[in-house]
């Protein structure tokens, strides 16, 4: 099983799951039951009718179990799945699925006959409450259907936060009724860079796309049914060239600019004035209207020099207060610590242990996502054939060795959890995202659900890969990229770990 449960005790015999198996559904669990039927019915022909004539799977709540925790008992005669809450039952159902053959992840049956579930007792609960993945749908747009599939993949690994990076210099994907040009103009660019920015190669091909309000509602509801919270991010006040392209009055000094076609930091960002603050408040009002979750991302990272620190602090503070007025908490990259972050902000600590300690020490809740351990755009091996070899080497084992608790040993209670970050400059579509994300996300999932350090992780990962394959995931083979997974036309820019470490040290020394 992956992530590994807290305790597993194997029993004798097997439960036979077949078309006659029934499902008994306790109070408050209709949603989980509906999801389970929707998964196992098509895959196995087991529709889990309430009036099943065979033995049953019983779902129920048990308030004695921890939040998101579960107890799964499989015997020859039946399956009982108890959860501390509906999320716990859902996670237990994901574990039950892992006890079935990989074909249970397909969309139609590929074999006849009953499926056997080995007798077992599993007790389980998560290590962290924030088990996340950030998906950058700004650098390359990810269509709604692929986002829904991605949510299924997160849920299958017991991750529960999808941080959607919805806006950046290279594209604005979030629909704003009051400012339609944000998506009409800011939602596409004339061409894209191919490979790392040092090579200045471009493809001459337009790229774009954006979500409608109904797309967002569907994504949020689909995720909620799988106990995944979507945390939207509107990156402010830096990374805003696409907004300036749509509404040049946001930064008149820059003259007319287009949506950025190259990667790397843009010198263009909105001016920090009362007018642009009102614009940002309007945008966040619409974000709050479509995303019901407690946390709203406001970015705050890598602001251009035209946005001086004092103005930035005032601006960001006003946005944090505005969100508080909506009853929401701001979520921001660790640059928000520069000059002191407002109270109540959750800090995404991406620039190493120093900022993680500083954020936790200053009393902020922290989501650990140090680039050297969790940036899934970084290359997966030293091999030059990796597509596209940027950043430092980050192997599956490197991700598995990541321990969020070690980053802030004096304030473990401040670490809400961790997330991996999928920046998509070099991932033009879902197949490329699959290659970069899997199986490294499996390692992160175990770190945040269970804790790393298990000697059998590699064996369990080997058993898990057929599940990914059954889900249609084009993961990176252990031996490296298949010929069609290489991108010889897109040269990279590999970094050495020591160089990146000293760069991070210099960037964060004052914090
Ligand atoms: C970031 O990588 N700019 C958060």
pLDDT in tens, 317-369: 999 999 999 999 999 999 999 999 999 999 999 999 999 999 999 999 999 99
Can you read off the two tokens belonging to residue 388? Answer: 């596209």
Q: 231 and 296 in contact (C-beta within 8 Å)?
A: yes
pLDDT, tens only, 241-275 = 999 999 999 999 998 999 999 999 999 999 999 99
CATH number (domain holding residue 74): 3.30.379.10
CA of 235 to the centre of ligand 1 (A): 10
pLDDT, tens only, 135-192 = 999 999 999 999 999 999 999 999 999 999 999 999 999 999 999 999 999 999 999 9
CA of 192 to the centre of ligand 1 (A): 20
CA of 172 to the centre of ligand 1 (A): 17
53/170 same-domain check: no
315/183 same-domain check: yes
Given 124, 152, 186, the domain boundary residue is 124
387/475 same-domain check: yes
* Closest residue by CA, ligand 1 atom 3: 301
Cα-based distances in Å from 115 to 34, 35, 104, 118: 20, 19, 9, 10
Residue 205 lies in a domain: no
350/446 same-domain check: yes
359/285 same-domain check: yes
Residue of 136, 163, 300, 302 to mutate, ligand 1, most atoms within 8 A of C-beta: 302
- Atom number in ligand 1 closest to CA 301: 3
Residue 480 falls in which region: left (phi positive, over 0), alpha (psi -120 to 50) or beta: left
47/166 same-domain check: no
| pLDDT > 90? residue 298 | yes
Q: 304 and 342 in contact (C-beta within 8 Å)?
A: no
| pLDDT > 70? residue 52 | no
Confidence band for 113, pLDDT divided at 50, 70 and 90: confident
Share of the chain above pLDDT 70, in %: 100
48/167 same-domain check: no
Residue of 350, 355, 425, 508 to mutate, ligand 1, most atoms within 8 A of C-beta: 350
285/405 same-domain check: yes
Residue 424 lies in a domain: yes
CA of 301 to the centre of ligand 1 (A): 6
189/88 same-domain check: no
Task: Give the pLDDT confidence score for residue 255 in this predicted structure.
Answer: 83
- Atom number in ligand 1 closest to CA 421: 2
Task: Give the pLDDT confidence score for residue 497 in this predicted structure.
Answer: 97
State the average pLDDT over residues 383-408.
Answer: 97
Domain of residue 304 covers: 130-197+210-260+267-508
| pLDDT > 90? residue 408 | yes
- Atom number in ligand 1 closest to CA 375: 2
State the average pLDDT over residues 286-308.
Answer: 97
User: CB within 8 A of 506, min separation 6: which ones?
Assistant: none
CA of 278 to the centre of ligand 1 (A): 25
Confidence band for 425, pLDDT divided at 50, 70 and 90: very high
- Atom number in ligand 1 closest to CA 371: 2
Q: 364 and 408 in contact (C-beta within 8 Å)?
A: no
Residue 65 falls in which region: left (phi positive, over 0), alpha (psi -120 to 50) or beta: beta
80/66 same-domain check: yes
Sign of CA dihedral 91, 93, 99, 102: negative
CA of 350 to the centre of ligand 1 (A): 7
Residue 2 lies in a domain: no
Residue of 234, 301, 346 to mutate, ligand 1, most atoms within 8 A of C-beta: 301
Q: Name the residue among 148, 191, 159, 4 with its Cα closest to residue 87.
A: 159
Which residues are marked as active site?
168, 239, 302
41/64 same-domain check: yes
Q: Name the residue among 213, 228, 304, 224 with its Cα closest to residue 260.
A: 304
As for ligand 1, residues whose beta carbon falls within 6 Å of it are: 301-302, 333, 350
Given 124, 147, 172, the domain boundary residue is 124
Task: Give the pLDDT confidence score for residue 50 in this predicted structure.
Answer: 83
Per-position b or e across 129-166, b if 16+ CB within 10 A of its CB: ebbbbbbbbbbbbbebebbebbbebbbbbbbbbbbbbb
Residue 432 lies in a domain: yes
* Closest residue by CA, ligand 1 atom 1: 301
State the average pLDDT over residues 308-322.
Answer: 97
Q: Prior bond to 213 cis, omega within 30? A: no
Q: 210 and 237 in contact (C-beta within 8 Å)?
A: no
State the average pLDDT over residues 457-464.
Answer: 98
CATH number (domain holding residue 174): 3.20.20.80
Q: What is the pLDDT of the chain when averaged over all its residues? A: 97
Kindly report the number of other CB atoms within 10 A of residue 287's CB atom. Answer: 22
Question: Considering its fold, how many domains does the chain have in total?
Answer: 2
159/113 same-domain check: no
User: CB within 8 A of 456, min separation 6: which ones?
Assistant: 4
Share of the chain above pLDDT 90, in %: 98
Task: Give the pLDDT confidence score for residue 399 in this predicted structure.
Answer: 98
Kindly report the number of other CB atoms within 10 A of residue 371's CB atom. Answer: 18
Task: Give the pLDDT confidence score for residue 53 in this predicted structure.
Answer: 73
Given 88, 106, 124, the domain boundary residue is 124
Q: 179 and 283 in contact (C-beta within 8 Å)?
A: yes
Characterize the bridge pairing of strands 130-136 and 207-208.
unpaired
pLDDT, tens only, 208-240 = 999 999 999 999 999 999 999 999 999 999 999
- Atom number in ligand 1 closest to CA 239: 3
- Atom number in ligand 1 closest to CA 350: 4
Residue 401 lies in a domain: yes
CA of 135 to the centre of ligand 1 (A): 12
Residue 202 lies in a domain: no
CA of 337 to the centre of ligand 1 (A): 14
């Amino acid at each position: 099983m992956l992530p590994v449960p807290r305790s597993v005790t194997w029993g004798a015999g097997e439960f036979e799951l077949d078309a006659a198996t029934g499902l008994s559904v306790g109070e408050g669990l209709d949603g989980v039951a509906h999801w389970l039927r929707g998964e196992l019915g098509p895959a196995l022909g087991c529709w889990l009718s309430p009036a099943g004539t065979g033995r049953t799977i019983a779902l129920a709540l048990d308030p004695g179990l921890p939040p998101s925790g579960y107890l799964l008992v499989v015997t020859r005669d039946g399956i009982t799945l108890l959860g501390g809450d509906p999320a716990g039952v859902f996670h237990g159902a994901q574990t039950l699925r892992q006890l079935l053959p990989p074909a249970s992840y397909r969309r139609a049956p590929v074999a006849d006959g009953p499926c056997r579930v080995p007798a077992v007792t599993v007790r389980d609960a998560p290590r962290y409450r924030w088990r996340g993945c950030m998906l950058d749908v700004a650098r390359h747009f990810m269509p709604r259907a692929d986002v829904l599939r991605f949510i299924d993949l997160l849920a299958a690994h017991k991750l529960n936060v999808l941080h959607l990076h919805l806006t950046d210099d290279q594209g604005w994907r979030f629909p704003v009724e009051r400012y339609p040009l944000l998506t009409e103009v800011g939602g596409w660019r004339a061409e894209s860079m191919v490979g790392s920015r040092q090579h200045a190669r471009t493809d001459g091909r337009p790229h774009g796309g954006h979500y409608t309000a109904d797309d967002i509602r569907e994504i949020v509801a689909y995720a909620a049914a799988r106990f995944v919270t979507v945390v939207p991010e509107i990156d402010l006040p830096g990374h805003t060239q696409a907004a300036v392209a749509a509404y040049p009055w946001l930064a008149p000094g820059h003259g007319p600019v287009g949506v950025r076609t190259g990667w790397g930091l843009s010198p263009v960002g909105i001016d920090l004035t009362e007018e642009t603050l009102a614009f940002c408040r309007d945008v966040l009002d619409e974000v709050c209207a479509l995303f019901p979750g407690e946390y709203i991302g406001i970015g705050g990272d890598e602001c251009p020099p035209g946005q001086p620190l004092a103005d930035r602090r005032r601006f960001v503070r006003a946005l944090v207060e505005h969100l508080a007025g909506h009853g929401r908490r701001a979520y921001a990259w660790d640059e928000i610590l520069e000059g002191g972050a407002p109270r109540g902000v959750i800090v995404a600590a991406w620039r190493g242990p120093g900022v993680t300690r500083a954020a936790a020490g200053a009393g902020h809740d922290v989501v650990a996502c140090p680039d050297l351990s969790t940036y899934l755009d970084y290359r997966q091996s030293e091999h030059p054939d990796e597509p596209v070899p940027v950043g430092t080497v980050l192997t599956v084992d490197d991700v598995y060795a990541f321990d969020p608790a070690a980053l802030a040993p004096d304030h473990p209670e401040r670490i809400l959890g961790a997330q991996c970050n999928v920046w998509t400059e070099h991932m033009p579509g879902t197949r490329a995202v699959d290659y970069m994300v899997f199986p490294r996300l499996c390692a992160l999932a175990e770190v945040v659900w269970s804790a790393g350090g298990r000697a059998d992780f590699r064996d369990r990962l080997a058993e898990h890969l057929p599940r990914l394959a059954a889900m249609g995931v084009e993961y990176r083979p252990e031996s490296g990229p298949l010929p069609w997974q290489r991108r010889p036309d897109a040269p990279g820019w590999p970094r050495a770990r020591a160089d990146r470490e000293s760069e991070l040290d210099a960037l964060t020394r004052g914090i």
